Structures are given as C-alpha cells and as structure tokens.
Amino acid sequence: MKRFLLSAALICAALPGFAGEGWDAVTAQLFPDRALLDGTEMISIDAPYRTENDTRTQIAAMIHAPQGMLLDKITLVLDENPMPVSAVFALDVPQPGFFFDVTMRINGPTPLHVIAETTDGRVWVKEGHVKTSGTGACAAPPGTDPAAALATLGDMGLEVARLSPGSGGLGLSARLRQLDVDISHPSHSGMQMDQITLLYIPMRYVETLDIVLDGAGYVDMTGSISLSENPRVGLSVPSKTRSVDVTLTDTKGTVTHAHKDLAAF
C-alpha cells in the first residue's frame, strides 16, 4: 500500500498544474480516493482559445485508450461553470477510442478538463483553457421565446458522416463514423430572466441522451445547464453501424425519440 501511495503521489506531481477551487471541488467529489494520471498522450482537446459566442461554443475531444485497455466513461468538466461537470458519456460497451463534439455555454474564462476512465479503474486527465467575453453565458437571455420553444422541444435530427478531418488521427478514422444529434431544446439554466415578465425562467435542460446502435445500448450521455440552447451533440460510432435510436429525457420528464437507418459505407 505504501508503494502504491508513493507512486500515486509521483504521478500526480508530474501532471500539469491543475488550478482553481472548481477543479479541486470536482475531483474531491468524483475521485476522492483515486489517482489522476496524465492523459496528455491519449486525449486530444479541440477548444477555441477565445469563444466567438459564449452561449454556443464547440468543445471536442478525441480519446484513445492505452494499448490493451478500453474506455469506460468520458467526462467533460468546465471548471468555473455553475455546473462544472458538464457532460458525461458512459459507454455501455467499452471502446478502444471515442470522440465527442458538443456545443456548450461557457460562463466565463475557465480551465476545462477531459477525464477518461478505463475499465481497469484508472483515471486519465488532460487540461485545456477557454477565454470568453465574460458576459456570463449562463444568465444570458434565451435566443427564442420560452413559450414558442415548447412547441418543438425534444425534436431531434440525426446525421451520420465520416469522422471529421483531424478528429480521427490515432488510426481510428477508418473504424469510426460521427453521429450528430441536433436537439431542439431551450436548455434553460435557471439563471436567465424572462425579458417581459422579469421573472427567472425555471431550470430545464437535457438530462440524458440514451443512444442505441443496431438495437443494443452504446452510450448514455448525462447533460447539464452547460449545454447550449438547441445543443448539438456529436460522437463517434463504429463504421459498421446500420441503425441509430436516440431517446432524450429532460429535467421536466419530457421523453422523445428519434430513429435513423444508415446506408452502408
């Protein structure tokens, strides 16, 4: 046990300087007794240096497991957002590689972390950073009328294409395609004010996306108020996939479904 603790201490000391109380709070809650390993060699983060639109910022990452290991869960943390654990992808069937690309609210300049858990219980982390205009995206007024947004709430469009150029480096592009789920949902943060009534709009966001490929569970995504209004969720799927089913559940209990049959590539 002493040897393990010493090794964990050395590994943590070798990691980049993770800064901020937000990150400390997240790791204390999620991984109180687990070492955080340097994921620099296995995680590639694609995030803008500075957002062009704080309320809709693309954050993407490509993760490949070390040789002989499989990925079990991927977590995106926006350290200084009001709900830092911003998206969690729990893989029903562990994979050697996984890609995600989601549109997020970035409430202010923040470190971000992508956390990869492998099936042997190890936790790997890579850090990034995003600068913003500092206008407070989570409190920004909705882009659509809240009442009108209810008419299409939960509608989803599904598209599958070849993995984006650059995202499938690591020898995975030939084995993966990219599923994009375009979601109609106001994603109310609970911090936004109705511009007419001047009352706060109750929190309501996409709580889960359950994605089934060819009739079998593939990944369950847990969302947060960090998801943008009308979010788009992109993720890798095996190239042999022939059908996709997506079930959305939001925090008010609304459940919707979408299905798509895919042509062979």
Q: What tokens does 218 get?
A: 């593939």
Q: Look at strands 110-118 and 176-183 and give their pairing.
A: unpaired
Per DSSP, the residues of 38-103 read: E-TTTEEEE--SB-S-TTSEEEEEEEEPPTT--EEEEEEEETTSSS-EEEEEEEEEEESEEEEEEE
Per-residue confidence (pLDDT) for residue 215, from 0 to 100: 97
Per-residue confidence (pLDDT) for residue 194, from 0 to 100: 80
In the three-class reduction of DSSP (H, G, I as helix; E, B as strand; rest coil), residue 148 is classed as helix
DSSP symbol at 30: H
Per-residue confidence (pLDDT) for residue 51, from 0 to 100: 93
Q: For residue 138, give the H/E element and its range.
A: none
Per-residue confidence (pLDDT) for residue 166, from 0 to 100: 55
Give the C-alpha separation, 240 to 134, whole Å.
Answer: 43
Per-residue confidence (pLDDT) for residue 265, from 0 to 100: 54
Give the C-alpha separation, 227 to 207, whole Å.
Answer: 10
Per-residue confidence (pLDDT) for residue 54, from 0 to 100: 94
Per-residue confidence (pLDDT) for residue 158, from 0 to 100: 98
Residue with tokens 């690591």: 170
Fold of the domain built from segment(s) 2-261: Immunoglobulin-like (2.60.40)
Residue 57, beta-bridge partner list: 104
CA–centroid distance for 252 within its chain: 21
Per-residue confidence (pLDDT) for residue 111, from 0 to 100: 96
Per-residue confidence (pLDDT) for residue 249, from 0 to 100: 98
Q: Look at strands 123-130 and 36-38 and give their pairing.
A: parallel
pLDDT in tens, the chain (265 residues): 333 233 333 333 334 444 568 899 999 999 999 999 999 999 999 999 999 999 999 999 999 999 999 999 999 999 999 999 999 999 999 999 999 999 999 999 999 999 999 999 999 999 999 999 877 789 888 887 777 888 899 999 999 998 865 555 545 556 799 999 999 999 999 888 887 787 888 999 999 999 999 999 999 999 999 999 999 999 999 999 999 999 999 999 999 999 999 976 5
SS3 string of 158-227? EEEEECCCCCCHHHHCCCEEEEEEEECCCCECCCCECCCCCCECCCECEEEEEEEECCEEEEEEECCCCE
Give the C-alpha separation, 109 to 80, whole Å.
Answer: 8
Give the C-alpha separation, 222 to 198, whole Å.
Answer: 30
SS3 content of the chain, % helix, strand, coil (to 5): 15, 45, 45
For the entire predicted model, the pTM comes to 0.88
Give the C-alpha separation, 223 to 189, whole Å.
Answer: 12
DSSP symbol at 144: S
Q: What tokens does 144 get?
A: 């659509």
Give the C-alpha separation, 50 to 228, whole Å.
Answer: 17
Q: What tokens does 152 get?
A: 């299409």
Per-residue confidence (pLDDT) for residue 171, from 0 to 100: 54
